[in-house]
Structures are given as C-alpha cells and as structure tokens.
Structure 1
C-alpha cells in the first residue's frame, strides 16, 4: 500500500511538472505569435514608408541662387521640370507592373541602441522595457505579410547574395530589398521599436529605427529615425 501511494504521489508530481512545462512553452509561443502579429499588421505601413520607386527621379531641386554671377549661363525652367515629374509620377501610378520586393528571409537582431532609443523616444510615458529574450531570429512567412497590389514579395535568398542582386536581366522589375528585426516592446506591450530599411541599388538605401505604438486599437508608426544612409 505504501509503494502504491508513493508511486501515485510521484506520478502526480510528474504530471504537474509536465503541465507547468506545457504552460511555460505555450506562453513563450504566445509571446512570439503576438510579436509576429504586430509585425504583420505594421508591415503594409512600413513598406509604404520605406519604399522608393527608382523609376521615378527625385523632384526637381529649387532654382539656383539669384546671387550667382551673370557670367554663369544657367537656363532654369522649373515649371517644365515639375510638369515632367508629375507626368511621370502619374504614369507610374497607373502602371500595373508588379514591383518585386526582396524580403530578407529572417528577422534581424535588435541592438542595445534601439532599446535605449525606445525609452528616450517615449520618455513622456515613462515606459520600462519588456525583459523577454528576443535575441533569436525567426523565419518570416511571406504569405502573412499584407501589402499593396502593386508589390510582389520574394525571399532575399532567391537572389544572388552579392551586389549582383542588382543585375538587370530579370524578367521582372526588382524595386528593392527590405527586412525587419525582432520587436523590442515595453512591459505593457503598447510601445515598440524595430530596425528596418530599404535598399534600392549598390549605393542606394538606408536603415533606421521604427518607433511603433498601439493607438485606438491599431498599431501605427510614430517615426522612422534614419541611422545609416548610402
């Protein structure tokens, strides 16, 4: 009888331990799934914010300084340049060609600078950082990323790993490369920061910190702070 009771007690202990372990694993999964859902929700706005259509030249600069010497013959028809720019912009907006965006396969790592910047950016809210370990990257699922109809997403690994990615013999238009990091949240999970950017050529692109927060039940981008540019 003693042995049966001992075994029952031991079995109960094992069952409770397994149950607690499952709860712990489920919580970690829930935290990760929450983060993924936020990243997926914010992605359309993120892509729209970082995207640059290289087919469209930058807007015309302001006219030269009127104090320049008369000996420098400069013909400047600003109205004509603006008209040409707007015409080209309108043409591209009507263009139904799919613009391919290469997405880095897995999330970047978040860094200490981003964490400090998060606290500083939302200092009026006196936030504290969530202590969840987010060092491990995860594979991004392209089918979960919503985007405008004009875009088509492909994994970065489908392209050459070097600068040859910008070769021009594709049967589609590669508009750029982007990706994003894990999200560092505050303890209330109402504020966050992630790293992202956009590459549009060998010497064309930028990266920066993306500050996000939940507003009226939806995640929005408050600001993108550029930290590197080429």
Structure 2
C-alpha cells in the first residue's frame, strides 16, 4: 500500500512538473504582453477609426433595393464599431474599447544556430554575458512547434486578444479585412517558442507583426524573471 501511494505521489509530481514546463511559454507571454504590444508598435493611443462605408450609388435602379439593405447593414455595423471605439477618452474607458490583437495559433520553432550567429557580437550581449551565453549555448535546442493556449494570457487590457483562426484573418485579406467589422484590429503577432537557460529565469523568443507593415516586422526579445514576473530586458530588430 505504501509503495502504491509513493508511486501515485511521484506520478502526480511528474505530471505537475510536465504541465508547468509545457505552460512556460504562455507564462512569459502573459507577464510581458503589454510591454510586447508597445515594442511591436501596437498602441491604442495611435489608433484612428476606420472610414465609414462608401456612399450608396443610386444610379443603378435595378439593384437599388438590394443595395439599400446591404448599406443599412453596413451603417449598423459601423455605428456599433464607433460606439465601442472611444478614441478621445480611451484611458478612462479602457474596458469599453473593442480593439483586438490577433495571435497566430501556433508558436513556431526558430533556428537557434541562426540566432546565435546573428547576435553573438551584439553590444548589449557583450555587456550582458549571461544572455550571450544563452544564445550561444542554445544552438542545438530545437523545440517543436506548439499550439498556444491563449486562455493563459490574461494580462492584456486594454486590448482584447484572439487567435487568428477565430478572427478569420489571412495575409491576402489584409487590405479589406477591416471592412464591416465591429472591432478594430490593432495587429497580428506571430510568436516563436521561448528558449530558456537551465535555471528557467532568462529566455528569448522572436515576435513578428504581420498585419500593419508592408514588410514583416520582427524583433528578437530577451526576457528575465524578476521578483516572480517576466520582464522584457531588451529587443533587437531581426530578419
């Protein structure tokens, strides 16, 4: 009986540790999300309302009735969008904003060897040898892609967050995506897995903003756990 109990406790501890290890990526993203949004230029204060729907073309009488119905729907959607917007007093009514950040469903893997070669001579890393050691020593640590558990990212206000699959966002729809939406899409973030040191108190990952720029905007993010919370220590423009 004693052996069974010991085995059960050992199994529970192993499962608990495994789950904690699996959720480390989300723990980092939860702690640094607002910092990260700012680093990726996704500021609520810089958002302007999308323009209203174009005026109704009344010249084509054959389809006027159908157009009137569609136009009324567009105006209703736009009215709802403006009611949720509150740009001029966003700091007071942050909870009323309907500004979303999309996050790609999958945390992708990166090539640590490539990262090491690109940044090993960076001035910040020269002055912070522990981070430099992390990048240089991690060249063989190839992590598998993983589906993000977005429910574990809770510290995201005033933004709302959603997976790209839930938003129905695709790169080819970028120019027309905002049409008739009752929320404002601030941006789409594509995140990598987080690569940690052995002590699990320092790490790095890449983050790309892929919705608002003609070219993909990517940064390498260095993080450190300080007083139980992850903080962004530095960031560098990447490939």
Sort the TM-score into its range (normalised by shorter chain).
0.5 to 0.7
Structure (1 or 2) with the larger CA radius of gyration:
1
Shift of 1:126: 7.2
Shift of 1:183: 0.9
- Normalising by structure 2, report the TM-score: 0.60
Distance in 1 separating the partners of 2:144 and 2:188 = 23
Give the alignment of 1:69-108 within 5 angstroms.
92=87, 94-95=89-90, 97-108=97-108
| Partner residue in 2 for 1:80 | none
**Deviation readout 1:156-210 (Å, 9 max, x if unpaired):** 1132433214413123222211132211011111211011122343615401210
| Partner residue in 2 for 1:186 | 197
Paired residues of 1:178 and 1:198 also in contact (CA < 8 A): yes
Distance in 1 separating the partners of 2:169 and 2:232 = 31
Paired residues of 1:52 and 1:200 also in contact (CA < 8 A): no
Distance in 2 separating the partners of 1:214 and 1:127 = 17
Runs (5+) with no aligned partner, structure 2: 49-85
**Deviation readout 1:131-173 (Å, 9 max, x if unpaired):** 8773241323246331132x22222113243321441312322
Q: CA RMSD in A?
A: 3.7
Question: What secondary structure sits across from 1:201 in the alignment?
Answer: coil
Shift of 1:21: 5.8
Match among 171, 174, 179 for residue 162 of structure 1: 171
Give the alignment of 1:43-82 within 5 angstroms.
43-52=33-42, 55=47
| Partner residue in 2 for 1:147 | 156
Equivalent residue pairs, number: 183
Match among 123, 126, 131 for residue 129 of structure 2: 123
| Partner residue in 2 for 1:224 | 235
Distance in 2 separating the partners of 1:18 and 1:52 = 47
- Normalising by structure 1, report the TM-score: 0.62
